[in-house]
Amino acid sequence: MTTPQLAAVAAIDPTATAAGDTAWLLASAALVLLMAPGLAIFYGGMVRSKSVLNMMMMVLGALAVVTVVWVVVGYSIAFGDDVTLGLFGDPTQYFGLKGLVEADPEARIPGILFAMFQGLFAVITVALIAGAIADRTRFGTWLVFCAVWTVLVYAPVAHWIFDFDAEGHVGGWMANKLGALDFAGGTAVEINSGAAGLAAALVLGKRLGFGRDPMKPHNLTLVMIGAGLLWFGWFGFNAGSALGASHLAAMAFVNTLVAGCTGLLAWLLVERVRDGHATSFGAASGAVSGLVAITPSCGVVTPIGAMAIGVAAGAICALAVGLKYKLGYDDSLDVVGVHLVGGLVGTILIGLLASSDVAAVDGLLYGGGLDQLGKQLVAAGATLVFSFTMTALIVWVLEKTMGFRVAEDDESAGVDLVLHAETAYDLHAATGGSRPHFGGN
């Protein structure tokens, strides 16, 4: 078998050697895997101490469920031959990754590695949504949501934007017909998860005490550890999306570093001016904002462009996270403010800042006209609307059928204890206070 996507990519740099490119893709895939625990830790530190374990389990549960679903049918929907209008891939073509198990001597990089690398993008996207509905959801229903959403929302959107046409293969509409640019997932990952988070938060409603209690992060050292691991993993996400150890990968790497840095600085500046204090939580959030915005654009802008994107994302997201208090939706960990807004910033700025020194087109500011900007707006808008609508529907159905939100008493006692029969910390000297069940009592 030949994965057409890979053939297309191989054409970019026909002189590259398989082993070197494969080595970098193996490392990148491992880095993207690390983003799952990284996100679990990042999110875990942000919630109150009574729900940190539940948050971590939502992320790890997403990892487990999405991986299985992806292997079975998700990859095939995303990267199988298009069945209709560039909207949906053939779910039977790579069912259970069939056809990818045997080595293909013609493939520049192993097809099965590409499939799993893409699968890890699905994992992160789904896991991100958990942040919007922290502290108040049933774990079993969440796992079901992960499976359904992967099939009905993620895989189609990935097909649209990531599945390139190739000889003997028809891919998705955004990448091929529309010609929107999204290097590593501004639409499929960032806008998609952010819009889904907004929908889920609206359908499930606010946490008890939202707007009254501070609900501040219970452990900012966890937030920093998580942010560090995320940034590290993001190099696999972005530079790995070059699918080879090439100059393009290096470019994506540099832009990923630069935009994270300027995102951090811009967020801190907004805080300093507005609140009088620059916070560590702002530093972590600012870096992530920059990384979100550079995700679609890391392979199409120069380092100077990356600086600008980071600054824009850091500043705009710093302002956007306050919206939830104004508009009254409880997007608990700011998936909307950071991922939806940051994803929009990065996807749209491609229309302004793409440089033909790096990519195939020039953005508006580089003399390229309005054309690419229009394409970017269409791609961003289509993803936002589709994801928001579908997610609202899925969450609503699950709430009505299985029940998605926990009971009030359980929420106020804390989901760690109630759902998982655990508490995160036991740092005390007095270890007494619990009594084992002996025999049958």
Partner 1 sequence: MKLITAVIRPHRWENVREALELLGISGMTLTEVSGYGRQKGHTEVYRGAEYDVLLVPKVRIEIVAEEPDVDGIIQAIQSSAATGKIGDGKIWVSPVESVQRVRTGETGPAAI
- What are the φ/ψ torsions at residue 137 (nearest 5 degrees)? -120, 155
CA-nearest of 214, 186, 220 to 348 is 186
Candidates 248-256, 299-307, 343-351, 411-419: pick the segment binding partner 1 (CB under 8 A).
Answer: 411-419
Tokens of 395: 């969450």
239 binds, among a second copy, partner 1, none (CB under 5 to 8 A by kind): a second copy
Tell me which of 11, 92, 213, 274 binds a second copy, using CB under 8 A. Answer: 213
- Of 204, 258, 336, 348, the residue at the interface with a second copy (CB under 8 A) is 258
Whether the CB-CB separation of 26 and 218 falls below 8 Å is answered with no
- Binds a second copy (CB under 8 A): choice among 5, 285, 302, 383: 302
Which residue among 14, 367, 426, 441 contacts a second copy (CB under 8 A)? 426
Phi, psi torsion values for 437, nearest 5 degrees: -80, 115
Told to check if 22 binds a second copy by CB under 8 A, we report yes
Residue 402 binding result from partner 1, a second copy, none, given CB thresholds of 5 to 8 Å by partner type: none
Least distance to a second copy, CB of residue 118, Å:
12
Per CB under 8 A, which region of 59-67, 103-111, 251-259, 277-285 contacts partner 1?
277-285
Residues 338-357 as x/- pattern, contact with a second copy by CB under 8 A: -----------------x-x
Q: Does 16 bind a second copy (CB under 8 A)?
A: yes
Work out what residue 26 binds among a second copy, partner 1, none; the CB cut-off runs from 5 to 8 Å by kind: a second copy
Residues 49-88 that bind a second copy (CB under 8 A): 49-50, 52-54, 56-57, 60-61, 63-65, 67-68, 71
Which range of residues in 137-145, 150-158, 160-168, 431-439 is near partner 1 by CB under 8 A?
431-439
Long-range contacts of the stretch 406-414 (C-beta < 8 A, 24+): 406/136, 406/137, 406/138, 408/208, 411/135, 411/136, 411/207, 411/208, 412/208, 413/50, 414/48, 414/50, 414/51
* 376 touches a second copy by CB under 8 A: no
Using CB under 8 A, which residues numbered 189 to 228 contact partner 1? 214, 216-217
- Whose tokens are 């560590």? That residue is 280
Contact status, residue 146 vs residue 159, Cβ threshold 8 Å: no
Query: Containing H/E element for 148?
Result: helix 139-149
Stretch that binds a second copy, among 98-106, 200-208, 326-334, 390-398 (CB under 8 A): 98-106
Contact assessment for residue 158 and residue 122, using Cβ atoms and an 8 Å cutoff: yes
Q: How far apart (Å, rounded) are the C-alpha atoms in residues 265 and 274?
A: 14
Indicate the residue among 45 and 337 with the shorter CB distance to a second copy.
Answer: 45
Question: CA 287 to CA 35: how far, in whole Å?
Answer: 15
Rule CB under 8 A: is residue 179 a binding residue for a second copy? no
- Between the CA of residue 421 and those of 216, 295, 416, what are the distances in Å? 23, 38, 6
**DSSP annotation string for 299-354:** TTS-HHHHHHHHHHHHHHHHHHTTHHHHH----TT-HIIIIIHHHHHHHHHHHHH-
Residue 439 is a binding residue for partner 1 (CB under 8 A)? no
Interface residues with partner 1 (CB under 8 A)?
Answer: 214, 216-217, 271, 274-277, 279, 281, 318, 321-322, 325, 334, 412-413, 417-418, 421-423, 428-437
